[in-house]
Amino acid sequence: MAAALAAGFERRQVRVAGPLGHEVTAAFALRDGTAVVEMAEASGLQRLPAGVFAPLTASTYGSGELLRAALDAGARTIVFGVGGSATTDGGAGMLTALGARFLDADGEPVAPGGAGLAGLASADLSGLDARLDSVELVLASDVDNPLTGPKGAPAVYGPQKGAAPDDVETLDAALAHYAEVLAETVGPRAAEYAAAPGAGAAGGIGYGALLLGARFRPGIEVMLDVLGFAPALDRAELVITGEGSLDEQTLHGKAPAGVAAAARAAGKEVVAVCGRLALPPQALGHAGIRRAYPLTEAEPDVARCIAEAGPILERVAERIGRDWLT
């Protein structure tokens, strides 16, 4: 969202539920009928108290409220960026905020969070906000995991959210049951979506978005389009990208790799600035990055790199200018 705001989008703030149900102030970006909504604004790990994790009970309800606020603001296209979540509820909380009902055997709403889905007896999506039918919803994610299984949301990302091995098993079984119950409501596509790339993004909120009719696209591709990267690229002599750590994860859909791929296709040279470099020159070359400039080359003391990043970046920028633009 920060990139959208820098590109001229308007910041809109709204009060929504955080992952534990406490009200928080979240924001989305809006311009000319296009909204950029980040689920982490409402349901991200940063919304939890310091040192607190809630892998079994954290809910995406606030993310649904944020999407609803974008609809209220007149958005006709919503770019839904997912990642950094505190949640593993398959998007059930989000869908509930948008009008869905998830009930237990007694006809009562299931408990919030992924673990509560183990008690799900019926799902009703008929009350979903009708405006969703006329909106283009784009699921923007840097991961292509399915909902469940060895590469699913609980197994791969659950531990990052405080899930112990037993919690991972509980969440995986609950999400599998959730998809089975939804199949009774929406048919075979519920299972298809559960296995689709991106379903496991952000604790399975990708699955919920697919149920809403979202179209999955790699996050970097979406943002390059939204920000008007192509015309800017036409005018560029050199493309400079960057990330805190250039490593193996960078090569799998992260922003520097996406920028480099687009620039290489346009015949432009690309260099990268990073705090830490963990890729050999050959890997950088395959990604389309001619050279990387880690801050540690200018200042070997990592603590100083962190504390004085601004001035050190200026020194690195001077070096890039000398190497490539003079």
Question: Taking the CB of residue 169, how many other CB atoms lie within 10 A of it?
Answer: 14
Q: What is the DSSP secondary structure assignment for residue 80, as one 8-state letter?
A: E
Cβ atoms of residues 79 and 37 within 8 Å: yes
Q: Which residues of the chain have pLDDT under 70?
A: 252-253
C-alpha to C-alpha distance for 254 and 271, rounded to whole angstroms = 15
State the pTM of this model. Answer: 0.82
Whole-number CA gyration radius for the chain: 21
Which amino acid type is present at position 45? L
For the chain, domains (ranges, CATH) are 2-221 (3.90.1510.10), 229-324 (3.40.50)
SS in 3 state form for 131-162? HHHHCEEEEEECCCCCCCCCCCHHHHHHHHHC
Q: Which residue do the tokens 């519920």 mark?
A: 190
Residues 114, 175 contacting (CB under 8 angstroms): yes
Q: pLDDT (tens digit, 9 = 90+) per residue, 84-128?
A: 999 999 999 999 999 999 999 999 999 999 999 999 999 999 999
pLDDT at site 253:
66
Strands 34-38 and 101-103: unpaired
Element (H, E) at 244: strand 239-246
